[in-house]
Amino acid sequence: MSGLLYQLLLNCQKFDILVENLGTTSLQTYNRFEMGDKLDVLIEWLASSNEFYLSENVTVVETKGSGRGLRLRSREIKCHQAVISVPESRQLNFHTVLKHLAMFNKHLKDMGGIYDSEVTDLVDHDDPRFMAYGIFDQDSVMKLTSFQLLTLYILFEWVILSHWNFRGIVSFWQPFFNVFPEDGDFRSIPCRWLCDSDSQHRTLFNKLPKATQDHAFRIKTLLENDWHVLLPYLLKWQKLFTENGSPVFTLDETYERFLHIYFIINSRCLYMDISEKSDAADKFTMVPFVDFLNHAPEVNKFCQPRQNSRKLKNSAFIIECGPYAYRNLHEELFLNYGAHSNDFLMNEYGFVLKENNWNYLDVTADVETLVIDKEYKDFLIEKDYWGDLTIAFEFISFRLLVTVALLASKDVRKVEKFILGFIGEDSFQPGLNAVLHQLLCSLNEQVVKKREDIKTLSQCDEWCLENVLTIYQGYEKIIIHHLESRRP
């Protein structure tokens, strides 16, 4: 779609907000001075590239329950039809950041050179980024992970550069930054509670399932490592940019913004092949407008991402309609983030789903304490059946069944035949179901107690409390289902 044609669309399309009032839902025009204006600026910036495309049949809305989202505003969107196509020049990833850095550092020219004239025309000769990005050399930049480089780059372009706004120096990416989520939008991520020494949610964190806590600690380890890698660059910037002898930003302030940016990237990165990076963890991109699509648990049903080949001049990131076609006015368009449990969704994105078929319980800690006999433990370790013991609604993992079969029969040779497939689960009945029933009853008691304890934490954020309770409600649903089907 040409820039002129898209401008005509901008003139006639209004961004809307869903307002819930007394149990009813209606469409109203959103306050254009706030979200609407930011979206207009974002669309104009995206549409200034002729490669950008947005279906005229969709619009952005915001609901009290799910925040911003994309909805059908007219006609229909059929299977395989493109909804959004964002060119490489409007994406934030290792490749595009390198090119932007090269605008201010001649030592990085061989990494891609000047990005394009529309950006270089905006560069002022006394732009502070000549000093800021002048501290980089090729080796140091290439050693950074995608996460580290993007965090550092956004930190300067969005946060530190704003100090020079009075001179008209604004980041090329400012329209994208304008619609970034606020820090409060990530308040339900458990790792955020760990990073805040004064967090009122430390007590709530201690009520989380162990597997959920472990996930949060893994994120915190990665986050702290990235902070320590970036710290030398931040200290150099502190010395370079001072006002009346003091740094224009303190490390404490920078760390808070670092956390905010870290979770923005973590919750909005999408897979993309990045030529400069071989590690799968580095192959991601941030795509404006695409992050307005909310998550749906159904895999291979709703909208799906597609990337053009990098052999093309511009590697566009495309979202197209999946097998499910949209025909109902105001219907929300969804994008599946992956087959993830509520524990994962809360840790990575800060939200949960009331109904999530991908939920499961990790009962490793509860079961391993039952394996007292050293011979049994050594056997399970030798056969690689120690740990990773889970229960989902549809099934009990074979790993768990093997451990329970051993507890029920106390017969190592028989369990080995079970592992090899020579005999089935029925060979261990009714003892196996008796052990499982006892385990499930114990788990159910724990879940009920945790839920009651959590309800007493009135000082915690209501949304955070509700999300944790939803995780335990998902557990309870799984446990009750198997209690009914596994009666001894």
Say how far apart CA 469 and CA 209 lie, in whole Å.
Answer: 11
**pLDDT given at position 18:** 34
More confident residue, 244 or 58: 58
Our CA angle for 337, 259, 119, nearest 5°, is: 80
Say how far apart CA 458 and CA 290 lie, in whole Å.
Answer: 36
Q: Inform me whether the pLDDT recorded for 115 exceeds 80.
A: no
Question: Residue 340: CB partners within 8 Å, gap ≥ 6?
Answer: 348, 358
Q: Inform me whether the pLDDT recorded for 244 exceeds 90.
A: no
**pLDDT given at position 36:** 64
Question: Residue 236: CB partners within 8 Å, gap ≥ 6?
Answer: 135
pLDDT > 90: percent of the chain: 56
When pLDDT is averaged across residues 7-27 and rounded to a whole number, the result is 34
Q: Inform me whether the pLDDT recorded for 252 exceeds 80.
A: yes
**pLDDT given at position 227:** 97
Say how far apart CA 26 and CA 330 lie, in whole Å.
Answer: 10
Contacts for 21-27 with beta carbons within 8 Å, 24 or more apart?
A: 27/61, 27/330
Distances (CA, A) of 147 to 269, 351, 448: 9, 22, 39
Contacts for 346-349 with beta carbons within 8 Å, 24 or more apart?
A: 346/188, 346/189, 346/190, 346/212, 346/467, 346/468, 346/471, 347/189, 347/190, 347/191, 347/212, 347/215, 347/216, 347/219, 348/189, 348/219, 348/266, 348/267, 349/189, 349/267, 349/295
**Residues forming beta bridges with residue 20, ordered by sequence position:** 25
pLDDT > 70: percent of the chain: 85
Say how far apart CA 432 and CA 395 lie, in whole Å.
Answer: 15
Q: Inform me whether the pLDDT recorded for 258 exceeds 50.
A: yes
Give CATH 2.170.270.10 domain extents, the chain.
Answer: 3-89+288-348
Going by pLDDT thresholds of 50, 70 and 90, the confidence category of residue 274 is confident
Q: Inform me whether the pLDDT recorded for 35 exceeds 60.
A: no
Residue given tokens 């992050």 in the structure block: 291
More confident residue, 186 or 8: 186
When pLDDT is averaged across residues 224-251 and rounded to a whole number, the result is 89
As a residue count, the chain comes to 488
Question: Residue 450: CB partners within 8 Å, gap ≥ 6?
Answer: 207, 472
What's the CATH number for 3-89+288-348? 2.170.270.10
Q: Say what the pTM is.
A: 0.85
When pLDDT is averaged across residues 104-117 and rounded to a whole number, the result is 63
Q: What is the pLDDT of residues 121-138, one digit of tens each?
A: 555 667 889 999 999 998
Q: What is the pLDDT of residues 44-76, one digit of tens each?
A: 999 999 889 999 998 888 766 667 788 988 888
Q: What is the pLDDT of residues 68-107, one digit of tens each?
A: 788 988 888 998 888 999 999 999 999 999 989 988 888 8
Q: Inform me whether the pLDDT recorded for 465 exceeds 90.
A: yes
**pLDDT given at position 481:** 96
Tell me the one-letter amino acid at 9: L
Q: What is the pLDDT of residues 295-349, one digit of tens each?
A: 888 888 888 887 665 444 457 889 999 898 889 888 888 888 888 999 999 999 9
Low-confidence winner among 156-160, 169-173, 271-275, 451-455 (lowest mean pLDDT): 271-275
| Pairing label, strands 304-307, 53-54 | unpaired
**DSSP count for the chain of H helices, then E strands:** 19, 16
Say how far apart CA 226 and CA 478 lie, in whole Å.
Answer: 37
**pLDDT given at position 399:** 97
In angstroms and rounded to an integer, the radius of gyration of the C-alpha atoms of the chain is: 26
**pLDDT given at position 97:** 94
**pLDDT given at position 143:** 94
Q: What is the pLDDT of residues 175-220, one digit of tens each?
A: 999 999 999 999 999 999 998 866 678 889 999 999 899 999 999 9
| Pairing label, strands 294-295, 332-335 | parallel
Going by pLDDT thresholds of 50, 70 and 90, the confidence category of residue 109 is low
When pLDDT is averaged across residues 253-258 and rounded to a whole number, the result is 93
Q: Inform me whether the pLDDT recorded for 29 exceeds 90.
A: no
Residues of 102-140 as b/e, b for ≥16 C-beta within 10 angstroms? bbbbeebeebbeebeeeeeeeeeeebbbeebbbebeeee
Which token pair is 484?
């009914």
